[in-house]
Amino acid sequence: MLSPSVLPRQGGSADERRLLRLCRKLDAESRRTLLAFAEFLADRAGDAGAPNGGAGRPIPEPAPERRPADESVVAAIKRLRRGYPMLDSGTMLEETSALMAQHVLQGRDAASVIDELEALFEARYAALKADSS
């Protein structure tokens, strides 16, 4: 693990210098957490900088879970995220939030919202597969 004394003193972009200043203020455990998060973000970016956005990379198959009777919309979103971990939930936030709002604010039936959520996740997975080919 990097100790604050090992971190470079100068150089890099303004963002890099700011990150170093913040890192120096953290205790050892917090620095490990910061590093793990940075590695997670870098892994998530994956081959995004590669030509075709990393096209040709194998996409894992989803592992959908059985839909329980009387499932809530929130539980369905959690279930679908577990079954489709390869999908970026951040890019789906607007659509899933809109469906959730239709249920909560407009009184739309949970079962029909969940049906649409399942279709959304399936369509996003199909698009991801097509983009990776």
pLDDT digits (tens, 9 = 90+) for 74-85: 999 999 999 999
Q: For residue 131, what pLDDT is reported?
A: 84
User: Quick one: pLDDT at residue 98?
Assistant: 93
Is the dihedral angle over the CA atoms 30, 35, 36, 40 positive or is it negative? positive
Q: Determine the pLDDT at residue 7.
A: 47
Neighbouring C-alpha atoms within 13 Å toward the C-beta of 54? 12
Amino acid identity at 122: E
Q: Quick check: is 34 in a domain?
A: yes
Structure token digits, residue 31: 């620095």
Q: Tell me how far apart the alpha carbons of residues 77 and 73 are, in angstroms, rounded to a whole number.
A: 6
6 or 93, which is more confident? 93
- Number of separate helices (H) and strands (E) present in the chain: 5, 0
Q: What is the pLDDT of residue 47?
A: 46
Q: How many domains in the chain? A: 2
Residue 118 confidence (pLDDT) = 97
Both 36 and 81 in a single domain? no
Assigned domain for 63 exists: no
* 41 falls within a domain: yes
Categorize the per-residue pLDDT at 112 as very low, low, confident or very high, splitting at 50, 70 and 90.
very high
Cα-only R_g, the chain: 20
What confidence score (pLDDT) does residue 15 get?
Answer: 81
Give the DSSP H/E element, type plus range, for residue 52.
Answer: none
Domain of 25 in residue numbering reads as 14-45
Does a structural domain hold residue 36? yes
Domain shared by 79 and 120, yes or no: yes
Residue 100 included in any domain: yes
Question: From the CB of residue 131, how many other CB atoms can be counted at a distance below 10 Å?
Answer: 13
41 and 81 fall within a common domain: no
Residues 77 and 124 in one domain: yes
Q: Which of 45, 83, 80, 41 is nearest to 62 (CA)?
A: 83
Q: How far is CA 123 from CA 30, 67, 92, 105, 116, in A?
A: 38, 18, 11, 25, 10
Pair (77, 121) in one structural domain:
yes
Q: Are residues 36 and 77 in the same domain?
A: no
Bigger pLDDT: 36 vs 27: 27
Mean pLDDT lowest among 50-54, 84-88, 111-115: 50-54
41 and 80, same structural domain? Answer: no
Same-domain check for residues 32 and 77: no
